Amino acid sequence: MQHTATSKPAFSTQLQAHLELADPITWVAAIAMVFCGALASSQGTPGFDPTNLNHLLLAGLAALMCGPLGTGFSQSINDYYDYELDAINDPGRPIPSGRLSLAAARANWIILGLSTMLIGIFLARYSLWIPIFALISLILSVLYSMPPIKLKQNFWFGPPAVGVGYILLTWLVGHMLFGPLTWPSVILALINSALAAGLLFLNDIKSVEGDRQLGLKSLTVALGVRQTLVVAYTIIDLCLVAMLVLALIGGYVWAAGFVALALVAPIPFQIRLFREPNHTNFKYFLLVNNPFVLLLEIFSAFIVGGYFG
């Protein structure tokens, strides 16, 4: 099935549609992970100095690579191959709404992907692993969205692939810009990657109808909405418990207290969403849960980097 627009939208409308295709809200996590990885690099090495303008600019360039470009590529190529699904779940998206043709959408993700690799090659002077991680992330995005593999068709592969591409690799890129990897940093990156996978399982409940119609084997299609919520809550909370244990082992009682708060505060919204799994309750849960998650990631990076003693 080929999508064609009935008339060519205005340039400003197309520009906005291209930006929407890259989904800027999704850039936040990748940008944050680059800076978290950079902060975590400072334990036992000169590492990242957040007061150094050159360091900030370098981390900012890596954040551009992983966020607007790399994550934008992932979102864009996903929309390109999922426009039929979006026509059911979210018909206002750029392609099904007719604001962008398939050819324009293809140009969008090609440019974003090439730009990602160009910056990765430039940053190879700091670590040869950086362009390799950038390439792996792009490949995961392609495999996630493109038939016939299309990892998102199966819940065993889709969310973990996103967790690795969006979180793990971006954290490692930020770290390796400024120093060799350390085990505490890698462990935190892995925990946050699993946390992202849990949040993605949760996100599946929004698109269950389209997934079911087009035969995508999401967790929600396989188990149902409420069972999916139980799985997602369990993964998210286990990741937070792991952070709590690590904070206590490290002697950071104040950090453990904050993690405990992050565990407890969303519970009323988890219950509310479980009882009435609708878009409004889903939004309320994310509004309460996600700021805690982001702050935990930042605090944990500061701790691993040795900024708090």
**pLDDT tens by residue, 107-148:** 999 999 999 999 999 999 999 999 999 999 999 999 999 988
Given a cut of 70, the residues of the chain with pLDDT beneath it are: 1-11, 44, 206-211, 213-217, 309
Question: 129, 44 in Cβ contact below 8 A?
Answer: no
Question: 78, 216 in Cβ contact below 8 A?
Answer: no
Q: Provide the phi-psi class of 121: left if phi over 0, else alpha when psi is between -120 and 50, else beta.
A: alpha
Q: Which two tokens stand for residue 32?
A: 């944050």
Question: 138, 73 in Cβ contact below 8 A?
Answer: yes
Distance CA 105, CA 274 (A): 36
Cα–Cα nearest to 124, from 172, 183, 173, 74: 173
217 — phi, psi (to 5°)? -90, 70
- Terminal Cα distance for the chain, rounded: 59
- Please give the pLDDT value at position 214: 63
Give CA 193 to chain center in angstroms: 9
- Please give the pLDDT value at position 207: 66
**What is the per-residue burial (b if ≥16 Cβ within 10 Å, else e) of 103-128?**
ebbeebbeebbebbbebbeebeeebe
**Is residue 3 exposed (0-12), middle (13-18) or buried (19+ Cβ within 10 Å)?**
middle
- Please give the pLDDT value at position 216: 67
Place of tokens 């505060």: 265
Question: 108, 75 in Cβ contact below 8 A?
Answer: no
Question: 179, 45 in Cβ contact below 8 A?
Answer: yes
Per DSSP, what are the bridge partners of residue 217?
Answer: 154
Q: How many CB atoms lie within 10 A of CB 291?
A: 12
Query: CA dist 269 to 177, 235, 272, 283, 299, Å?
Result: 38, 16, 5, 10, 24
Q: What is the pLDDT of residues 285-296, one digit of tens each?
A: 889 988 998 888
Distance CA 103, CA 308 (A): 51
pTM of the model: 0.87
- Please give the pLDDT value at position 203: 76
Question: 59, 33 in Cβ contact below 8 A?
Answer: no
- Please give the pLDDT value at position 175: 96
